[in-house]
Amino acid sequence: MMTPEQAGWFAETFEALTANVSKAVLGKEHTIRLAMTAMLAEGHLLLEDAPGTGKTSLARAMAATVQGTHHRIQFTPDLLPSDVTGVSVYDQSTGSFTFHRGPVFTSILLADEINRASPKTQSALLEVMEEARVTVDGVPYDVGRPFMVIATQNPIEQAGTYKLPEAQLDRFLIKTSLGYPDHASTVRILAGAADRDRASRLAPKITTEALAEMADMAATVHVDEAVLDYVSRLAEATREDARTRLGVSVRGCLALVRSAKVWAASLGRPFVIPDDIKDLAEPVLAHRLVLDVEAEFAGVTSDEVLQDVVATTAPPVERVV
C-alpha cells in the first residue's frame, strides 16, 4: 500500500509534469491532468475536438516531458493495418523475412482523425491498446513502457468517416476535449506567434523508467470496499437507465478505479475517496454508453446521462481511508 510520504512525492512529481506540459499547451491544465492520469494509469486518451486546438502539441509535449518518443499517424481511408503495426519484408541476401517496425512502436502515438480510417485499420490498434504488443505473422512484439495512444476525431466534419465501434471506444481510458483556450491564454499564444513549436524546447522532467515506476506506485493506492461498491452501483445505474441500450461494462469499472488511484495520488492521498470517483466518472465512463435510439433523437447525450446517474446515486457516507 502507498505510504503518505510516497503520495506526497507522487503529487509533487505529477504537478511538475503537468506544469511542464502547460508551457506548451496554455490554459488547459485540467485536460493535461486528465491526460497525465491516463498515462500513469497506463491507458489511452481520446480527444474529440475541432482542428487547431493543440492536440498534436499536447502529445509532443507529453513525450518531451517524459523523455519518450512520439510518432504521429494521419488516419486516412487508404491507410492499411501494416502502415500502423509494421510489415515483414523479404531480404534476398539472407533468404528470410525481416520485420520492419511501424510507428506504433513509440512512447506516445498520436492517431490523428482516427475515425477517417476503415474499421479494418482501426482494429489494428485493438491488440496493442489492450496488451501493449502487436502480433505480425504469428510473432508478438512488445512496444515497451510507457505506451499511450492519443487519438483524435473531429466532431464537426463527419463526411467520409467511420464511427468507432463500441469495442474500441471501451479501450480508451478517458475521453475529453481540449477546446479553445480562454481569452487570456489566446492573447499569450498570439504574443508568441513566432514560437511555432513550444513542445520542442521542453526539458524532460522524468525518464520513461521512472514513469513506469510511478505507474506501479499508483497501483498500490488503497481503495476501500465502500468505494468499490459505489463504482459498481454507478455502473448498474447506467445499465438500468431507460435512455441507454448498453451501460458501463466491468472493463469500464476497472478503468474508473485505475484512474481514481492515480487521481488520488496526484492530490497527495494514498487512498481514494468518493469525490475522486465523481470527478472522473464523466471522462472515464460517458463514452462507453450506447444510448437508446429514441433518446438520441430527443437530443440526449451520454454526458447528461452520466451526470444524472452520479447525482442520483448515493456515495458512501462512512470514512473510507
**27-40 pLDDT per residue, tens:** 889 999 999 999 99
What is the pLDDT at residue 15?
95
What is the pLDDT at residue 320?
58
CA distance 88 to 109: 21
**Residue range 221-320, CATH number:** 1.10.8.80
What is the pLDDT at residue 163?
79
CA distance 244 to 294: 10
Prior bond to 146 cis, omega within 30? yes
CA distance 150 to 144: 16
User: For domain 1-193+205-211, is the CATH number 1.10.340.30?
Assistant: no
Q: Is the pLDDT reported for residue 51 higher than 80?
A: no
What is the pLDDT at residue 38?
95
Segment 307-318 mean pLDDT = 89
Segment 72-86 mean pLDDT = 90
What is the pLDDT at residue 192?
72
CA–CA distances in Å: residue 225 to residues 202, 250, 258, 319: 41, 16, 14, 11
Cβ neighbours for 9, distance < 8 A, ≥ 6 positions apart:
none
Give the ranges where the chain is alpha helix by DSSP (H): 4-22, 29-40, 55-65, 81-85, 119-122, 126-131, 166-169, 183-191, 208-218, 225-240, 250-266, 274-285, 293-297, 302-312
Q: Is the pLDDT reported for residue 65 higher than 80?
A: yes
CA distance 204 to 209: 13
Least confident stretch, 30-44, 73-87, 113-127, 223-237: 113-127
Q: Is the pLDDT reported for residue 19 higher than 90?
A: yes
What is the pLDDT at residue 116?
86
- Give the domain ranges of the chain: 1-193+205-211, 221-320
Dihedral sign, CA of 130, 285, 254, 242? negative
How does residue 156 score in pLDDT terms, banded at 50, 70 and 90?
A: low
Give the chain's mean pLDDT: 88
CA distance 180 to 162: 25
Please report, rounded to a whole number, the percentage of residues in the chain having pLDDT higher than 90.
47
33-47, 136-150, 199-213: range with highest mean pLDDT? 33-47
Q: Is the pLDDT reported for residue 260 higher than 70?
A: yes
pLDDT digit string (tens) for 216-237? 999 999 999 999 999 999 999 9
Segment 45-56 mean pLDDT = 80
More confident residue, 189 or 24: 24
What is the pLDDT at residue 191?
82
How does residue 168 score in pLDDT terms, banded at 50, 70 and 90?
A: confident
Segment 207-214 mean pLDDT = 90
Neighbours of 208 (CB within 10 A): 18
What is the pLDDT at residue 232?
96
Q: Is the pLDDT reported for residue 193 higher than 70?
A: no
pLDDT digit string (tens) for 240-254? 999 999 999 999 999
